[in-house]
Amino acid sequence: MKPSTDEAAKGIHELFMQSGAFSEEEAREIAFHLTDWIDNLVSFADYLENPRAVEGDRAMDVILKFLAHAPNHLHAAAERALNLE
């Protein structure tokens, strides 16, 4: 089941706003960086659940798209959420 990107982003945004430690912009950026790659995550999780169901080039495509998209977003979210900048 694919999660709703909009609902997930809204929930993350609200959590960070409720903490009182983040500005509107910071909360919005964190939510964006934690949800922009949901499609890649779902495809990769599906692959991990049943790797034999995804063959050859398609499996490599799923893995490479996840690796290309997720790490930079996770790093950006961590920098903002953990004040690592």
What element of type H or E holds 75? helix 56-81
* Entry pTM: 0.88
Distance from C-alpha of 6 to C-alpha of 16, rounded to nearest angstrom: 16
Q: pLDDT tens for residues 9-68?
A: 999 999 999 999 999 999 999 999 999 999 999 999 999 999 999 888 999 999 999 999
Distance CA 17, CA 28 (A): 9
- Which tokens in the block code for residue 81? 């959420």
